[in-house]
Amino acid sequence: MEKELTIDILSSVQKPARYTGGEFGSIIKPAEETEVTIALAFPDVYEVGMSYLGFKILYHLLNKEAGVQAERVYAPWVDMEAKMRERNIPLRTLETEKTLAECDIVGFTLQYELSYTNILNMLDLGGVPVLAAERGEADPFVIVGGPCVYNPEPLADFFDFAIIGEGEEVMIELMDCYKAWKKAGKVGGRKGFLNEVVKIKGIYVPSFYETVYNEDNTVAEVKALREDVPTVIEKRVVKDMNSIDFPTSPIVPFNDIVHDRIMLEVFRGCSRGCRFCHAGMVYRPVRERKPEVLKELARQLVDNTGYNEMSLVSLSSADYSCLAPLVHDLIAEFKDDRVSVSLPSLRIDSFSVDIAKEVQAVRKSGLTFAPEAGSQKMRDVINKGVTEEDLMNAVAAAFKSGWNSVKLYFMIGLPFETDEDLLAIADLAKKVQYKYYEITGKRGCKVTVSASGFVPKPYTAFQWFAQNDIETLRRKQFLLKDALKVKNITFQYHDAKTSIVEAIFARGDRRLGKVLLTAWQKGARFDGWSDCFSYDRWLESMAECGLDKDFYAARTRGENEVFPWKHVQPAVSRKFLWREWQKAQAQELTHDCRRSTCTGCGVCQKLGVEIIDYKRGEA
């Protein structure tokens, strides 16, 4: 008999509550009522995975379905993995302690490229063959979804099919399909089921496609191997956010998690058109929830969870058309419950000190802004659409209202960036400090500058761009570090090596599957964690597989180069993205289409979806 996690094991690892389950709000159905079990697998530790809103939504929706049991599983930290391997203990779900091999479907979310080795590791720990080609009739179907699914090719060897786009509706269709196939006697085995699911809009089965390469190693074509499968798989999209259920009784964890608060999704999508932003393109169009719907959801969430903080989440929460009255109403509603309201992101040009004062009435924590670039030239290149004056007005208003610390986010290694542009980041930070002195007559304003290395992503205007090499990124980091040796300015930056590996997998093709497998076999896991990441291991794995990192990361793509992800589409037109790449070079801005004219990205027309913005008619 397989061994269980015992008290002696749990007491010997960090944060044992990661592995126990049984939290308030978790759902367990009787075995006799369960026709299909799906493990929602997050390829990182419990406290990161439990903060992911997408799985909270799917957990709620799937468990509402008759005959469906959705369960959770997270990546065990290295200390727990060592114990599990030593004692031959398989990875199990938290709800009914099924091994992954005992589930019908194991669904991973692809949130960031550096979590990919954890997917392989979790499958192996759960008793599931890592390679899709080696799975037999008794093995579960391994599926993937999430933001990185728009280039799933580096993982094509490991998953059976992918969900492209938003999951609320397609996942229910998938469950119905599985139940029908099972009820009919599992006709045709694994292949028979894949033949059924490929008929569902938004599902991609990689084994039904083949990538053909040119002599120079670029992609010649991605072709369907059968006439009855789509040549292009377009994303699924929920047309009206008010029409779908939102979880109002989420699981309340035993230990602290990254986002340990109520998460209320106010809208989906973004139309700002920042040229570096993958999410801004793949989640289009903007669809808002009605304020009255949000207030009702908020009431239920407060009553059902006991949390004392509520975060209004979206890609750019300050852009919600009804934000000021909504924040005012929520604060008034929950004042007696002592529940505070927070906004995770503030754009400089939509910053309202009045709202910030209202949400931080209890305590003034630091404010965070994301200028993304230091010079106006670079802000125009990336289509940020904000000026230095916007930032100075925002911080001035904040300092007048009592704030004395600011955090500023930037990227380095952007297209067309010079050292002058880089040093403009330091100048901007110093100007913010001086603005504080100007307004208060005092010094001591704390400014934190955070700079991450830019990674080009698919379906952005910068998907053609050759990423800066590691030496260039490091030189830029140290140049900025020297320029920011100023009292009360803190400079934070990430290891440039992780940006290189992220870029390789962001724009990679199927051949990277063997690199992923090799790196995992050499011990790669938790690559997003600096204490686990090994750049040398990745370089060795690339070399052993005969692939060149610079081919994937540091190479400019030609205008007509065929991308490995061309058949998996969020419906943003390539012509539009190329036009944006040209405009970036010319430092030309593109307006926000949300309350103005269409910019021609093609999403609304292709998918038959409309922007839902409650102030749109007033513009």
> What are the structural domains, with CATH classification, of the chain?
7-230 (3.40.50.280)
Residue 522 half-sphere exposure toward CB, CA atoms < 13 A: 20
Q: Give the pLDDT of residue 359.
A: 75
Cβ–Cβ under 8 Å, residues 499 and 469 = no
Q: Give the pLDDT of residue 249.
A: 94
Q: Is the pLDDT of residue 116 over 60?
A: yes
Q: Give the pLDDT of residue 355.
A: 79
How far is it, in rounded angstroms, from Cα 186 to Cα 459?
37
Range ranked top by mean pLDDT from 241-255, 342-356, 358-372: 241-255
pLDDT tens for residues 73-111? 999 999 999 999 999 999 999 999 999 999 999 999 999
Q: Is the pLDDT of residue 617 over 70?
A: no
The values of phi and psi at residue 329, to 5°, are -65, -40
Chain Cα centroid distance, residue 88: 33
From residue 40, give the alpha-carbon distance in Å to each of 61, 312, 363, 443, 531.
12, 24, 37, 50, 26
Confidence grade of residue 619 (pLDDT, cut at 50, 70, 90): very low
The secondary structure of 424-447 as a DSSP string is HHHHHHHHHHHHHHHHHS----EE
Quote the DSSP letter at residue 161.
Answer: E
Q: Residue 541: enclosing H or E segment and its boundaries?
A: helix 535-544
Mean pLDDT of 36-41: 98
From residue 92, give the alpha-carbon distance in Å to each of 124, 126, 178, 387.
12, 7, 22, 51
CA dihedral 433, 436, 437, 441 (to 10 degrees): -160
- Find, among 358, 280, 363, the residue nearest to 324 by Cα: 358
**In this prediction, what percent of the chain has a pLDDT beyond 70?**
97
Cβ–Cβ under 8 Å, residues 163 and 203 = yes
The three-state secondary structure class of 17 is helix
The values of phi and psi at residue 448, to 5°, are -105, 125
Mean pLDDT of 431-459: 95
101 Cβ contact list (under 8 Å, min separation 6): 90, 126, 127, 128, 138, 139, 140
Mean pLDDT of 343-369: 70
How are beta strands 405-412 and 446-453 bridged, if at all?
parallel
Q: Answer left, alpha or beta for residue 398, where phi above 0 means left and psi between -120 and 50 means alpha.
A: alpha
Mean pLDDT of 178-201: 97
Q: Give the pLDDT of residue 112.
A: 96
465 Cβ contact list (under 8 Å, min separation 6): 415, 456, 556, 557, 581
Confidence grade of residue 1 (pLDDT, cut at 50, 70, 90): very low
Q: Give the pLDDT of residue 481.
A: 97
**In this prediction, what percent of the chain has a pLDDT beyond 90?**
87
Cβ–Cβ under 8 Å, residues 445 and 432 = yes
How far is it, in rounded angstroms, from Cα 219 to Cα 503?
17
The values of phi and psi at residue 385, to 5°, are 75, 25
How are beta strands 287-288 and 267-268 bridged, if at all?
antiparallel
pLDDT tens for residues 363-398? 456 788 889 999 999 999 999 999 999 999 989 988
The mean pLDDT value of the chain amounts to 94
The secondary structure of 456-511 as a DSSP string is --TTSTTTT--PPPHHHHHHHHHHHHHHT--TTEEEEE--HHHHHHHHHHHT--TT
Cβ–Cβ under 8 Å, residues 27 and 64 = no
Q: Give the pLDDT of residue 365.
A: 62
Residue 80 half-sphere exposure toward CB, CA atoms < 13 A: 27
pLDDT tens for residues 524-578? 999 999 999 999 999 999 999 999 999 999 999 999 999 999 999 999 999 999 9
Tell me the helices (H) and strands (E) count for the chain, helix number first.
21, 19
Buried b (16+ CB within 10 A) or exposed e, 34-49: ebbbbbbbbbbbbbbb
Quote the DSSP letter at residue 422.
Answer: H
Q: Is the pLDDT of residue 2 over 70?
A: no
Range ranked top by mean pLDDT from 151-165, 318-332, 336-350: 151-165
pLDDT tens for residues 481-502? 999 999 999 999 989 999 999 9
pLDDT tens for residues 137-146? 999 999 999 9
Residue type, 322: C
Q: Residue 480's CB: how many other CB atoms inside 10 A?
A: 22
Q: Give the pLDDT of residue 334.
A: 92
